[in-house]
Chain A
């Protein structure tokens, strides 16, 4: 409880870090902020070419099927990859000034979340251009789904960034973990491709129900499965609580180890 009160006191620091991150992320590059949109679009192009024309998946409107899962996936994978360095990169501040250390993962998660929101603009643009339309009744479901994913990503960020301080290898291991995790999640394919008898295990991946929910809302244009959503919420909360516990323990020696 004290932590939350303190984080509230430091809200200006969080928001200024988020602003700095959003503004500074592509500083010095010619296209600047446009990369926020270009990055997912280029990834979309690659996967669409591969899975529509080479390894034909036979999914109708494959690009949209992919895109509605790819954008949330990029948000999640930010926690696994660049997120692992988020404490290391603020070494100077951590060694010299006190502030609740949770500010850093919180700000990073929030700025990645904002980037996802910007990318959603493109999703809607693609839907509009393709003339596929949206299910207005299902659309409000996006809010709880996004919030659940936010909790999950924050939890993963807390865990990964804190452990990386003590074990720098994690940063490199995460590259592989990120790739494996993506192919074990329904990003480039649908859940129908997963063999029946694997499904139970497959659903233990917290990203599975979340991605399925996004796809239900935006691609299938139906409300997401309530039970799956509850499962996602449960798993996300468990990971978040684990992350908070681990982070609070590990942060005590940050200033010494860095």
Chain B
């Protein structure tokens, strides 16, 4: 029997325009009780095998958190069914049920009992929970004296030690500092290795790719796509990228229009093109792409200039930065040049979402124009590489002991 079996699951919410809570309001304003029914899930079927880790991805409001709440039995389905085989622990809301006046130790007992543990079971796990949380010296202080980081550490520690067969996690891998996050992550991998089924909702594709065997992309209350994270994520990222572009997220400008008026030079257009000169928003690792920058200048006032580029990954990691001056190119004479092409042949980035920041500067680095996130694009690759850049390499295999030498 699979760990989770979901059949044609549907869930609707009633959205009240103005809801009367009291009897008087209910009787007097019966017409005001009109509500709109919104189907948040429109028929989701899903099977998760024991020991499998799956990721639920989708934009905000797509129904993924509702699905998670239905799995945890906080909500009940309107149609269809959810069957969970085994003890379920949900890390939907860490520390719910914590009492501020009680000590860390007392809260461990209360909190763990809410997960359905008996006193004996809690006794057996107590030390492990305290050790993991790294709160040994504070454990007998009331939790209201804890910092929010300490609070989350304790809560996470309890939730992850309840010995669940199925663990439901909603966007909580952002607990505490980087070191503790790494530890939580390691612990999750361990738990997974022990055969626990895991369902995670997150926006961090990198985390999901490391831990999950399968990604389920939910859109408008139905499963839009499911498969290996390396297959689903690039398409999802592309979709999100297009959405961002179509919702008119203009390139962020660090200078206002008014300032631009006064400045003698400005960037007028930035585009990413393929080798045929057509604009693109996506490419494959190893494709050749051209970054085209057009600018205008007041020939009287403009001086010599340089172009700077910075390539960022979606998580704001600077992947590469350069400018024409550093590369010892001649200064750009703005009264002669209005189009600059920078060709990447090939563009050796691993799959992911990236953007370029482009700057047009005077030779003393004063910025005529700076366009942050000027072009956003998605890189795919069938190979599931990690890191930033694809480094050209070759493998060879031989057997040295036989050929002698």
Contacts and interface: CB of A to CB of B under 8 A. Distances in A.
A56 to B, nearest CB: 41
A245 interface: no
A13 B115 CA distance: 8
B110 A20 contact: yes
A95 interface: yes
A10 B24 CA distance: 39
Interface in A95-133: 95-99
B80 interface: no
Contacts of B76: 252-253
B93 A12 contact: no
A255 B96 CA distance: 14
A82 interface: no
Contacts of B97: 92-93, 96-97
Nearest to B168: A98
A95 B114 contact: no
A98 B109 contact: no
B96 A96 contact: yes
Contact of B75 (A12, A167, A255): A255
A74 B26 CA distance: 32
B344 interface: no
A97 B23 contact: no
A9 B76 CA distance: 21
A13 B116 contact: yes
Interface string B163-195: 000000000000000000000000000000000
Contacts of B119: 12
Contacts of B117: 12
A58 B30 CA distance: 53
Interface stretch (B44-52, B66-74, B235-243, B264-272): B66-74
Contact of A96 (B21, B23, B93): B93
Given A97-B90, A97-B92, A255-B69, A16 B113 contact: yes
B177 to A, nearest CB: 25
B80 to A, nearest CB: 14
A6 B298 CA distance: 78
A256 B35 CA distance: 14
B93 A97 contact: yes
B129 interface: no
A97 B74 CA distance: 6
Interface in B69-107: 69, 72-76, 88, 90, 92-93, 96-97, 99
A98 B90 CA distance: 8
Contacts of A61: none
B400 to A, nearest CB: 59
A20 B122 CA distance: 17
Interface string A17-32: 0001000000000000
Interface of A: 6, 9-13, 16, 20, 92-99, 167-169, 252-253, 255-256
10 contacts: A9-B116, A12-B113, A12-B119, A13-B113, A13-B114, A16-B110, A93-B96, A94-B74, A97-B115, A169-B22
Given A9-B118, A12-B116, 11 more contacts: A20-B99, A92-B97, A93-B114, A96-B96, A96-B97, A98-B74, A167-B23, A167-B26, A169-B22, A256-B13, A256-B75
